[in-house]
Amino acid sequence: MADQGEVRKPGEVALLFAMVYRAMTDHMHDLLAEHGREPLRPAHGYVFRYLHRTGPVTIVELAAQLDVTKQAASKTVAELVEWGYIERCPHPTDGRAQILALTKRGKEYMRLADRLWGQVEDHWAGLVGDDRLAAVRDDLKAYLDSRYGDERMKLRPVW
């Protein structure tokens, strides 16, 4: 643990956040492997979260959310369709379009991922205490609120 009197260096906090995100993701992948599940890339996770939150969407809507081209979104979706996590269905009003939705298997993966992310967070709480981790969560939310206000920041990968 850093000395409380230590002076914060410019850029240090952002770098630590990036390193912690990577460490937490590696921890998550270790837990997924213990459950015999494939370690989907973070980009897959953003697709899961978006579909879970919004329901069925078109590839164009997904690409806009991820801030990628339609082709890049299509490639990610093709992998998830092949693995049985997402299904393509006819669009109810546009015969040329399809909508994307999580399958039963995709929803089960989401539930497992949520439980395992909870274990990753519990590991952190075990190191610093529940109160301090809750304070970190509140501080992160406060920063996001100061930057984006009532507008919800897009949950998407940083490319």
pLDDT tens digits for the chain (159 residues)?
556 678 989 999 999 999 999 999 999 999 999 999 877 888 888 899 899 988 899 999 999 988 889 999 999 999 999 999 999 999 888 888 899 999 999 999 999 999 999 999 999 999 999 999 999 999 998 988 888 877 665 655 554
The pLDDT value recorded for residue 149 is: 78
Cβ within 8 Å of residue 41, ≥6 positions away: none
Answer for the pair 134, 124: CB distance below 8 angstroms, yes or no. Answer: no
Token couple for 96: 């040329």
